[in-house]
Amino acid sequence: MKNLNDTYTLQNGVKIPVVGFGTWQTPNDEVGYKAVLKALEVGYTHIDTAAVYGNEVSVGKAIKDSGMKREEIFLTSKIWNDAHGYEATLKAFDESLERLDTDYLDLYLIHWPNPLAFRDTWEETNAGTWKAMEELYAAGKIKAIGVSNFCERHIDALLKTAKVVPMVNQIRLCPGDAKEELVAYCEEKKILLEAYSPLGTGKVFEVEALKEMASKYDTTVAKVCLRWSLQRGFVPLPKSITPERIADNADIFGFDISADDLNIISNLTGCCGQSDNPDEKPF
């Protein structure tokens, strides 16, 4: 992997850029618009958003105004917790397309596996959502479908009725929260892992071991963490609204972390907190 244009190949043959630009907590205004525009300007071709982020309009406008062809950009969105189930999913998907001002998505994800509103029927409800997504995929309106925040038990349940195996699982992955068992499970099923919060929501900058790694490789803590994610075979999704950081986070191809140091980073535990149980989220 040499640059942002390099790709992984999903199980259906679709190419996905190895690094994505995340937009969680990015506002749906001029600031958010300029952040996405800057990301595209510095070379990102993979943009990740979601219905609940509330910024699909500004993301879509930035893509339109970038001067890039739609097919040059890999665009992801996610269905929120209040729209699970077959009919609701079809409606939510159309609404995302309208806000993004596009006629297809490259990747569409179930954002959370067990929303509070469907806690007693989550397995059945996910099956209905997935059926709608499979139909949209078969119709060519989505190039690839997947999940987010799913553990092994949630994927196992989905596969009881699914005709298409999820192509992606987007989860929190960062030093100190490496989820080795879930990673191995997904890799065995050829489900690509996307790493959101790859910088541990800022906590990585307080970790002495990572500071030492940054010094050793003459780089920054952020780049060490993003490079770790990349070399582990994940798709990191760094986010920022600061132009300098947007550009800096894209510049992670000039060095390699040794196998021994990758292992040291992977074995850090708890330094950036642990993910919450998705079955206990209060939303």
Cα–Cα distances (Å) from 36 to 25, 58, 170, 259, 273, in that order, read 13, 8, 20, 33, 28
* % of residues, the chain, pLDDT over 90: 98
72-96, pLDDT tens digit by residue? 999 999 999 999 999 999 999 999 9
Angle of helix 122-138 relative to helix 86-100, nearest 10 degrees? 50
Amino acid at 217: Y
The span from the CA of 131 to the CA of 198, in Å, is: 31
The span from the CA of 115 to the CA of 278, in Å, is: 8
Indicate if 185 belongs to the active site.
Answer: no
CATH code for the domain defined by 7-271: 3.20.20.100
Smallest Cα–Cα separation from 112: which of 83, 75, 72? 83
120-130, pLDDT tens digit by residue? 999 999 999 99
- Of the residues 33, 44, 53, 108, only one is catalytic, namely 53
* % of residues, the chain, pLDDT over 70: 100
pTM of the model: 0.97
152-210, pLDDT tens digit by residue? 999 999 999 999 999 999 999 999 999 999 999 999 999 999 999 999 999 999 999 99
14-37, pLDDT tens digit by residue? 999 999 999 999 999 999 999 999
C-beta of residue 129 within 8 angstroms of C-beta of residue 95: no
Smallest Cα–Cα separation from 110: which of 71, 149, 139, 74? 149
How many other C-beta atoms can be found within 10 angstroms of the C-beta atom of residue 251?
15
Runs of H (alpha helix) within the chain: 30-42, 56-65, 86-100, 122-138, 152-158, 180-188, 208-216, 221-231, 243-249, 259-266
Mapping DSSP to helix (H, G, I), strand (E, B) and coil, where does residue 107 land? strand
Structural domain boundaries in the chain: 7-271
